[in-house]
Each structure stands twice: as C-alpha cells, then as structure tokens.
C-alpha cells in the first residue's frame, strides 16, 4: 500500500512539475512577444516568435498550446505591420493565419485568437478582388465570433474598429462606428479589462487602444484629441515606438 501511495505521489509531483514548466515557457514567450511588439524591433520579434514556437512544441495541454500558438500569430501580425518587413509581409500573414487557425481549433472559445485571425484575414482581403472574395467574409465571420465570445474585450473592440475604419463603406466600413469602438475600448482598458484571467493568456492592448484612437482622430483632423490619446499611450507604455517615433512626430508636423 505504501509503495502504491509513493508511486501516486511521485506521479502527481511529476505532473505538477510538467505543468509548471509548460506555463513557464508560454509565459516567457508571451512576455517576449508583447515587449517586442511595443518596441517595434523586427529582430526581437523574430526571436520572440521562435520562443513561442518552442513553447508550442513543449506544451501538451490544449488551452496552453493554443496560447503559445496565439503568440506565434501575434508576432507574425506585428511583423506584418512593420514597414521594414514589408517584403515578407505576405508570408508573415500566412504564417500567422496558420498558427491562429490551429489555436482556435484547439480552443474554440479563445476570443482573442478569433479576433487576431479575423484581422489577418482582413489584411489578406485587401490584396485585390480575388483575395477579397476569399478572405472578406471569413474576416467578418471570425471577428463576429470574437465579439460574441467577449464583447467587452478592448483588444477585440480595437481590432474590429481598425477593420471598420479602413474597410470601404460598400463592404461595411464605418469610420464613426470605428471611433466609437476605440472609445469604448479605451474606457474598458482604463477599467482594467486588458488583464488576463489566466497568466498565459494575452494581456496587451492598454497602450494600443489609445494609439489607434489617436491615429483615427489625427486622420479626422482632430489634433487635440489625437495628441491626448498619444500621450496617454506613452504614459502606459513609455517605449511604444510607433507612437513615439512615428505618430507623434507626424502629428507635430501638421
């Protein structure tokens, strides 16, 4: 009897240790990807993406593997939007879609993964008529799924707002609704809604929602509100490269 109990105890400790290791590698990937996305450093993003890929291979629990895949997707999403990586943006978008499609298969209720996937589908849809036919509806359906799952998630509201802002009106674009989305996202972020319920899940976005709101205000020539939004973004993330080195200088030049 004592031998059986000892064996069970060892099995329990081994299982607990394995879960702890799994959490640790996903957390390291999460931290690396989210930090690199803020600094806009392509080299750091690629290194973080590889770390996230390692987390995928070392994680067996489905939800945590889905989280690791999400951070692979988020790294690719961030690379797609870096001007220095324009030459490989198509490949990054495809790789991000592959990772995120696998994430939502493993974890169908993963709202953030649906939203980021919908955003990448949307970017692919902008590649011409054939691409629009292939990806436009997929983007809309996937984003709607994300909103249905978590209607008060600032990251999802932001990504939907970006889509609404840049999508042609004939395909459902709506700049006023986009701004309303971003305002709602900012309000929720200030209330702490970007926080994750589980440590391995995404918790970025507090600064991003203000950056995108400011960018939209700037395009509408509302310079005071744009500046206030950018300043709040930098209060949250002082090293936010896009705001610090691109958006604010562009605003100051107007």
* Cα three-residue angle 172-75-46, rounded to 5 degrees: 145
190, burial (CB in 10 Å: exposed 0-12, middle 13-18, buried 19+): middle
**CA quadruple 115, 121, 122, 124: dihedral positive or negative?**
positive
**pLDDT tens per residue, range 40-51:** 999 999 999 999
Percent of the chain with pLDDT strictly greater than 70: 89
Q: What is the mean pLDDT of the chain?
A: 89
pTM for this entry: 0.89
Mean local confidence (pLDDT), 140-155: 97
Q: Which two tokens stand for residue 68?
A: 């690791």
245 DSSP 8-state letter: I
Mean local confidence (pLDDT), 32-41: 97
């Amino acid at each position: 009897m004592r031998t059986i109990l000892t064996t069970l105890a060892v099995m329990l400790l081994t299982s607990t240790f394995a879960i702890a290791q799994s959490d640790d590698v996903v957390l390291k990937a999460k931290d690396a990807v989210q930090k690199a996305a803020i600094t806009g450093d392509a080299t750091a993003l690629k290194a973080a993406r590889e770390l996230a890929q390692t987390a995928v291979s070392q994680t067996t629990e489905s939800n945590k593997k889905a989280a690791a895949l999400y951070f692979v997707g988020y790294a690719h999403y961030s690379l797609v939007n870096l001007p220095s990586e324009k030459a490989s943006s198509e490949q990054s978008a495809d790789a991000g879609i592959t990772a995120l499609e696998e994430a939502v298969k493993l974890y169908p209720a993963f709202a953030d993964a649906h939203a980021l996937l919908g955003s990448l589908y949307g970017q692919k849809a902008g590649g011409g008529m054939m691409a629009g036919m292939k990806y436009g509806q997929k983007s809309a359906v996937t984003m709607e799924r994300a909103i249905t799952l978590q209607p008060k998630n600032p990251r999802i509201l932001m990504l939907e707002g970006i889509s609404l802002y840049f999508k042609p009106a004939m395909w459902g674009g709506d700049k006023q609704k986009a701004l309303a989305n971003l305002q709602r996202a900012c309000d929720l972020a200030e209330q702490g809604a970007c926080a994750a319920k589980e440590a391995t899940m995404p918790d970025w976005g507090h600064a991003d929602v203000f950056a995108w709101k400011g960018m939209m205000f700037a395009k509408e020539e509302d310079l005071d509100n744009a500046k206030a939004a950018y300043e709040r973004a930098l209060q949250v993330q002082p090293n936010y490269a896009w705001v610090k080195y691109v958006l604010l200088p562009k605003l100051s030049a107007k």
